[in-house]
């Protein structure tokens, strides 16, 4: 394992040391104790080893004949001068001073610079610290390399960038065949494209990959049998080919002792040559790659120091390519005179075809337009959080394409919101922070039902007061990723919204989070107000998200209409998703899923989760579907306001069912007190009359008692209640029920054999109303039997 340090003491050209240390509570830079020399350090350097087993705050990385100090982003570091006397006006300059997200503080004593502190946030790549003398001359330059705490820089971070580059590569190869690529000689255009070209080149030119390909070429190189002819003295000739054609291959005849003899012979020699078109192309391609890297270095250096990260990588590649083209294999190979794209060896043989593809991709970069890559691939820093966001969207896109029974739906090629579109002969990747992108799919459930699945990047949900609409009822929100899921029978999402058949699944990328407890807390640990206040302060100072992530997920679920779930995607180590369901099903819910580059297990877990959500959405009999449909029915019409006896209330369901039941005035108060009432189920003495009563009374429907004589109007009795049950019972069962209430001496049903028994609760006063006409309209038996009717008819003519 590579050595890790918590403090470095770097010798100054003059007396003393520059101290660089990982900040911690017990750090004391004024004490030099514990600093020792390590064999891995440069001469005269001292260090203090780190005791941390997993966190490696300071490392020394060799890069050819130079070294870099590798630091961790988001960690705090202290620096100070260790000199025997005054530091004589030494100054410090650093590229970390100017960054908006770089925290840099300096401490002075008696006007002299003494020490300081810095922290790097969302910056991956190279930086430096320069120590200057009072005249501004550089005394010492300390090269730094900032790496991620969330990703292993040499494996996981590289996997993330290679995933993105591989996606772009496949996009180009699938979009257009190499024979249709056009190559421009416009030098200004090539100048603008070099960074895009370098993106593909860097993905291809790794030590392991290039070394393997050139080894394959060396094992099986393309060669041709060449015949060389040269006039030589007869005595020096090695070939006897002249015997087949002496007149053409012999010359300078002379007579020797009277006989003619040639003085020179056209000597022929056969040899195997590697100076062939395929090998000339390989040499040309490597030189082209080298020149491209040099242009990247020159371009970024010309911009006053910006782009140090990319420029350094390009400079490193130049050294690697110099070592490759200096191999003896390339010494006899001449310059390429024609582009042999039709050569079968170049197209098919191992090693040759891969280098050909890499060259074609750098040329095809002119056909790929991705403005968003400037957010994370250019400049002197890498916004790794944005890069992580882009990587997640690409993985979600690929994941959907890999799901069984999922097919991509082609949108309009020139739609600027499409994730991938085509315009003016270019492929446009519309993936950029602050800009909405979308891609569409259609999924077929095992049952045959089809769902449209639209994947969005940074879709904005605006605030709206409409009850049946897409958006938020409070404020505007913009989740990182949104799945819009709705039946394929709806041509557009807006049609599904109007039918209440759309569902939204949201994800937010949280690069800052490392452990699940950072997002959702420890359920076994009690929290107090001081801890919550501390978390808010930490969040503001360091952008380390904890409680805020969970609160935002709940906010999405509550504020954004038709949301079935909101989940955090973070680069942690947990293999199984953390899903917190509201009820007994997967939706609605909140949670978090680990998603780390190179971790196939976390990708499979996310894939299984999305498949489970789609299965759930296709189930028309799920608990969620019942709640969703009921909510839609309740919200699709605006409630009416009713005012009665100076009391104002809303009527949300004007067609809600009600039960009108005639009660004897002397029994009405008993029924109200004990929460039940009964009536004949069939007309007494008139069995021919049909019963027309809706017994599917919902729990919570209105029970409204009424009374009145034969020649009197039917009026409500001044109270109402909520139905709890409606049962068809025999006379004996009804008597048993009454006896259980202790009311046998007051209530004695017995005139018919069958009754309807209603139970109710939550009785409250209700103004008396004349319901004679409503009762006549809906009754099927006599006036003493129960009647069902809509709630709005009870309230007429007050609407």
pLDDT tens-digit series, residues 556-610: 888 888 889 999 888 876 656 677 777 777 778 888 888 888 888 888 989 999 9
| Same domain? 285 vs 260 | no
Tell me, yes or no, whether 557 lies in a domain: yes
**DSSP bridge partners of 117:** 78, 105
Taking the C-alpha atoms of residue 592 and residue 566, their distance in angstroms, rounded to an integer, is 9
What number is the average pLDDT over the span 447-467?
89
Residues 6+ apart with CB under 8 A from 257: none
Is residue 379 classed as helix, strand or coil in its secondary structure?
Answer: coil
Is 759 among the domain residues? yes
- Based on the domain organization, do 434 and 388 belong to the same domain? yes
pLDDT of 58 above 60 = yes
Q: Establish if 94 belongs to a structural domain.
A: yes
Mean pLDDT of the chain: 78
Is 80 exceeded by the pLDDT of residue 291?
yes
Tell me, yes or no, whether 194 lies in a domain. yes
Q: Is the pLDDT of residue 716 over 90?
A: yes
- pTM (2 d.p.): 0.65
Quick one: 348 and 437 in the same domain?
no
Q: Cα separations (Å) of 242 from 79, 248, 259, 262, 766?
A: 83, 8, 18, 11, 128
Residues 289 and 399 in one domain: no
Is residue 636 pLDDT above 60, yes or no? Answer: yes
Give the residue from 707, 699, 693, 704 showing the smallest Cα distance to 755.
693
| The pLDDT of residue 485 | 94
Q: Give residue-wise pLDDT tens across range 371-425.
A: 666 555 544 445 677 778 888 998 999 999 999 999 998 777 667 788 887 766 6
Q: Give the number of other Cβ atoms within 10 Å of residue 9's Cβ.
A: 23
Where is the domain boundary, 258, 273, 288?
Answer: 273
- Same domain for 134 and 235? no
Instruction: Measure CA of the first residue to CA of the last residue in the chain; give whole Å.
Output: 81
Domain count along the chain: 5
More confident residue, 701 or 758: 758
The residue whose two tokens read 């916004």 is 383
Do 556 and 619 belong together in one domain? yes
The β-bridge relationship of strands 250-256 and 406-409 is unpaired
Domain stops at, among 273, 295, 310: 273
Place of tokens 């002197």: 380
* Tokens 């017990």 sit on residue: 26
Q: Alpha helices of 469-509 — where are they, by DSSP H?
A: 493-498
> Are 428 and 542 members of one domain?
yes
Residues 260 and 305 in one domain: no
- 340 occurs within a structural domain: yes
Residue 669 has pLDDT above 90, yes or no: yes
Do 86 and 120 meet the contact criterion of CB atoms below 8 Å apart?
no
pLDDT at 513: 58
CATH number of the domain encompassing residue 779:
3.10.590
- Asked if residue 635 belongs to a domain, the reply is no
Judgement on whether residues 569 and 664 belong to the same structural domain of the protein:
no
The C-alpha atoms of residue 484 and residue 481 are separated, in whole angstroms, by 10
Q: Among residues 586, 606, 630, which one ends one of the domains? A: 630
Q: Is residue 113 within 8 Å of 87, Cβ to Cβ? A: yes
- Domain span at residue 247 reads 224-273
Residue 57 lies in a domain: yes
- Residue 439 in contact with residue 396, Cβ under 8 Å? no
Range of 130-134, 252-256, 585-589, 637-641 with top mean pLDDT: 130-134
363 and 280 together in one domain: yes
101 located within any domain: yes
Same domain, 625 and 518: yes
Q: For the segment 6-54, what is each residue's pLDDT rounded down to a tens digit? A: 899 999 887 888 999 998 877 777 665 666 777 778 888 988 888 776 6
Question: 494 and 504 in one domain?
Answer: yes
């Amino acid at each position: 394992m590579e050595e890790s340090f918590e403090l470095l003491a770097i010798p100054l050209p003059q007396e003393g040391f520059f101290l660089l240390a990982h900040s911690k509570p017990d750090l004391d830079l004024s004490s030099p104790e514990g600093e020792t020399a390590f064999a891995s350090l440069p001469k005269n350097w001292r260090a203090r080893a780190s005791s941390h087993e997993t966190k490696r705050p300071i490392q020394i990385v060799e890069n050819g004949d130079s070294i870099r100090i590798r630091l961790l982003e988001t960690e705090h570091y202290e620096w100070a001068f260790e000199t025997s006397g005054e530091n004589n006006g030494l100054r410090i300059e650093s590229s970390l001073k100017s960054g908006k997200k770089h925290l840099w503080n300096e401490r002075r004593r008696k006007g002299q610079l003494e020490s300081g502190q810095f922290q790097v946030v969302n910056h991956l790549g190279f930086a430096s610290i320069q120590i200057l003398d009072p005249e501004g001359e550089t005394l010492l330059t300390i090269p730094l390399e900032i790496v991620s705490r969330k990703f292993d820089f040499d494996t996981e971070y590289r996997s993330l960038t290679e995933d993105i580059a591989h996606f772009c590569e496949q996009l180009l190869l699938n979009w257009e065949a190499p024979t249709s690529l056009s190559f421009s000689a416009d030098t200004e255009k090539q100048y603008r494209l070099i960074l895009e070209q370098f993106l593909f080149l860097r993905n291809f030119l790794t030590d392991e990959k290039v070394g393997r390909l050139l080894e394959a070429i060396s094992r099986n190189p393309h060669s041709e049998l060449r015949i060389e002819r040269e006039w030589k003295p007869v005595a020096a000739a090695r070939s006897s080919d002249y015997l087949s054609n002496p007149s053409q291959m012999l010359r300078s005849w002379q007579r020797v002792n009277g006989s003619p003899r040639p003085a020179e012979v056209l000597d022929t020699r056969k040899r195997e040559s590697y100076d062939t078109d395929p090998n000339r192309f390989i040499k040309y391609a490597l030189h082209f790659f080298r020149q491209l890297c040099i242009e990247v270095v020159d371009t970024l250096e010309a911009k006053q120091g910006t782009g140090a990260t990319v420029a350094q990588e390009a400079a490193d590649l130049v050294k690697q390519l110099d070592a490759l083209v200096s191999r003896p294999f390339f010494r006899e190979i001449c310059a390429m005179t024609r582009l042999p794209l039709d050569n079968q060896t170049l197209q098919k043989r191992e090693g040759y075809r891969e280098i050909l593809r890499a060259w074609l991709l750098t040329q095809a970069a002119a056909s790929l337009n991705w403005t968003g890559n400037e957010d994370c691939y250019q400049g002197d820093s890498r916004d790794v959080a944005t890069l992580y966001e882009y990587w997640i969207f690409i993985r979600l896109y690929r994941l959907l394409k890999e799901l069984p029974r999922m097919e991509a739906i082609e949108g309009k090629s020139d739609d600027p919101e499409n994730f991938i579109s085509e315009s003016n002969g270019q492929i446009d990747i519309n993936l950029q922070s602050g800009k909405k992108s979308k891609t569409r799919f259609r999924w077929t459930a095992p049952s045959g039902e089809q769902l449209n699945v639209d994947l969005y990047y940074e879709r904005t949900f605006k605030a709206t007061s409409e009850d049946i609409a897409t958006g938020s009822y409070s404020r505007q929100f913009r989740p990182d990723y949104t799945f819009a899921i709705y039946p394929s029978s709806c041509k557009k999402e807006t049609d599904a919204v109007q039918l209440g058949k759309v569902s939204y699944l949201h994800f937010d990328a949280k690069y800052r989070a490392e452990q699940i407890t950072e997002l959702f807390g420890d359920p076994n640990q009690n929290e107090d107000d001081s801890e919550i206040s501390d978390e808010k302060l930490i969040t503001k100072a360091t952008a380390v998200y904890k409680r805020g992530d969970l609160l935002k997920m709940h906010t999405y679920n509550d504020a954004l209409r038709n949301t079935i779930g909101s989940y955090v995607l973070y680069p942690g180590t947990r293999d199984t998703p953390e899903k917190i369901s509201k009820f007994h099903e997967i939706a609605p819910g909140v949670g978090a899923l680990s998603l780390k580059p190179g971790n196939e297990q976390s990708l499979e877990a996310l894939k299984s989760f999305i498949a489970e959500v789609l299965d759930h959405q296709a189930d028309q009999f799920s608990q969620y579907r019942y709640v969703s449909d009921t909510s839609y029915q309740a919200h699709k019409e605006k409630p009416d306001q009713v005012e009665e006896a100076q009391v104002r209330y809303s009527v949300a369901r004007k067609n809600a069912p009600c039960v009108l039941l005639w009660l004897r005035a002397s029994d009405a108060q008993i029924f109200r007190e004990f929460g039940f009432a009964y009536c004949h189920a069939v007309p007494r003495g008139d069995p021919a009359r049909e019963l027309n009563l809706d017994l599917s009374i919902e729990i919570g429907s209105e029970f409204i008692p009424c009374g009145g004589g034969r020649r009197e109007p039917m009026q409500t009795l001044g109270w109402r209640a909520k139905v709890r049950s409606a049962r068809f019972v025999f006379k004996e069962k009804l008597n048993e029920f009454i006896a259980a209430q202790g009311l046998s001496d007051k209530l004695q049903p017995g005139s018919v054999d069958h009754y309807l028994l209603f139970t109710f609760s939550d009785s409250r006063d209700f103004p008396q109303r004349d319901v004679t006409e409503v009762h006549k309209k809906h009754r099927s038996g006599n006036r003493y039997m129960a009647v069902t009717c809509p709630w709005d008819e009870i309230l007429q003519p007050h609407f």
